[in-house]
Amino acid sequence: MAKATGEKSPEFQLGWDAAIRAARDWHEGKAKQTLVLARRSRFPKNLERESEVHKHSAEMMMTLSPDDV
């Protein structure tokens, strides 16, 4: 028997939380990596902007819900 579309199983929620956590960790890692590259670069401004984008993306991950997709 199929569930209603608005209901989320515990397994789904667990998977969702893991996926969001993994994406957030990836963005945080890319932000750190880009800042290290910016310190070594002759033209760091673009890399600093890229790092800010990744930081912002990591912060926004926690606002997503399964209903958004």
- pLDDT over 90 at 34, yes or no: yes
In angstroms, how far is CA 62 from the centroid of its own chain?
8
Question: How far, CA to CA in Å, does 46 sit from each of 10, 42, 43, 54, 59?
Answer: 42, 11, 7, 13, 20
Residue 48 within any structural domain of the chain: yes
The answer to whether residue 16 sits within a structural domain is: yes
**Domain total of the chain:** 1
Flag whether 21 is in a domain: yes
The residue written with tokens 């994406």 in the block is: 23
Q: Residue 61: pLDDT above 50?
A: yes
- State the pLDDT at residue 1: 43
Taking the C-alpha atoms of residue 21 and residue 16, their distance in angstroms, rounded to an integer, is: 9
Please check whether residue 44 lies inside any domain of the structure: yes
- The structure's pTM equals 0.79
Domain membership of residue 41 as a residue range: 11-64
The answer to whether residue 5 sits within a structural domain is no
Residue 46 lies in a domain: yes
Q: Is residue 17 part of a domain?
A: yes
